[in-house]
Copies of this chain bind each other. A is one copy, B any other.
Amino acid sequence: MITVEQAISEIMHRLPIGRPVHCPLDESVGLILSEDIQSDIDSPPYDKSLVDGYAVIASDIQTNTRLEILEEVMAGQTPTQTLRPGTAIEIMTGAPLPAGADAVVMVEQTTREDSVVWIQQDAIAPETNVMRQATSLSKGQTVLAKGTLIRPIEIGILAEIGCPNVPVYQRPTLSVISTGDELVNASEIPEGGQIRNSNGPLLSALGNACGAQARSLGIGLDNFEALSELVEQGLEADILVLSGGVSAGVKDLVPGVLAHHQVMQVFHKVQLKPGKPIWFGIAKSQTQTTLVFGLPGNPVSSLVCFLLFVAPAIYKLLGSQRNALVSRTARLTDDFTQRGDRPTYFPACLTEQDGVHYVTTLAWKGSADQNTLSQANGLAFFEAGEQFFTKGSEITVYEIPS
């Protein structure tokens, strides 16, 4: 059986390259730039005033200076006059600095009488309240590099430098199928032997949280034809995630249905707990490569497998430099005994106090125990083998994205 690291490597080196597309500016938050972005303008585009006030010649200003007002320049207007000694031009924040001016006196420091302004400052240094053309950035300058994550701040910058359609890597599409005759929808009342489909909503939400565009295809019954039809739809996406149907039970149809659709198995079963039965394969058509993940059917195994194997694939398709889960070192708040022959990823609660991270393993009642999960924001990692960890031991914890 391969290790988690081997499994991740098998997935990652089969990934196609993210698809560069152009995305409207207001939909691009959370995506990654697929090209360097140059400015098409100087910023500021001209020498400009940083305040509302009077553009002046700095050397004019002494105690009780009186200046003649030549004109008023509003934002969006350009000055028409050139300052000469003894004159000022009224100017708004952001307006171009008039020729001849080298400083701006704030309006609060002035008194106006008709076409004359009295300056209440005794002196002003040249360049005061002035921002020179191209101080912030120059036309042609690379402002944001390929690979940059677009946050709200970058949205402002992209708007400023004239990029209403942003070159980014497209969100990978992700289809989710929950398999099993025992499943009913969240809106239904389960009867004898039935349980609600919680994996479908969980996995779709995780997919969206990681940056994919997830679509739930609903419940796939344990019936070759019905499942086959759903899988065919699912293979239109970049990633198809199935939950259930991959262990060794009689009705585990998933591997058979996938083979029928020319999905080539890459691996089945990985040394980990929970999540050992995970299945991974690739489907390639002329137009589409689809990564296919068969996750174990219980919610905690599904969650762990999604985070370890599916999330990094999404990040890489998105063009992110982060192609793994974020991990940190944290101190155990209680003793912990690790048992078993597989590395274990245990739902846990990460906290921080005075810069130190602490981890509390949760009283987890088996891999179908979702209730305990509501306190989990991390996966505590323990190597394979019998081991006793005392309170305060430092272990690795992977963060669960929220």
Contacts and interface: CB of A to CB of B under 8 A. Distances in A.
B187 A108 contact: no
A68 to B, nearest CB: 18
Contact of A159 (B48, B90, B200): B200
Contacts of A198: 156-157, 159-160
Contact of A247 (B74, B93, B158, B185): B93
Contacts of A131: 365-366, 368-369
Interface string A1-32: 00000000000000000000000011001000
A29 B205 contact: yes
A8 B133 CA distance: 36
Instruction: Pick from A155, A208, A373 the residue with the most CB of B within 10 Å.
Output: A155
Given A50-B367, A136-B365, A365-B131, A160 B196 contact: yes
A49 to B, nearest CB: 10
B250 A197 contact: no
A298 B356 CA distance: 38
B248 A108 contact: yes
A242 B75 CA distance: 16
Contacts of A92: 249-251
A357 interface: yes
B186 A162 contact: yes
A320 interface: no
The 10 closest A-B pairs by CB, nearest first: A156-B202, A76-B181, A76-B182, A52-B249, A152-B205, A160-B198, A75-B182, A159-B198, A159-B186, A164-B187
Interface of A: 25-26, 29, 40-41, 43-46, 48, 50-52, 72, 74-78, 90, 92-96, 107-108, 131, 135-137, 143-144, 148-149, 151-164, 180-183, 185-187, 189-190, 192-202, 204-206, 208-209, 216, 222, 247-252, 297-299, 303, 329, 355-357, 365-374, 376, 400-402
26 contacts: A29-B209, A41-B190, A41-B196, A50-B367, A52-B247, A52-B252, A75-B251, A76-B183, A76-B222, A92-B249, A92-B250, A107-B248, A135-B366, A135-B369, A136-B368, A136-B369, A136-B371, A151-B205, A152-B402, A154-B374, A157-B371, A159-B196, A159-B200, A164-B185, A329-B355, A355-B357
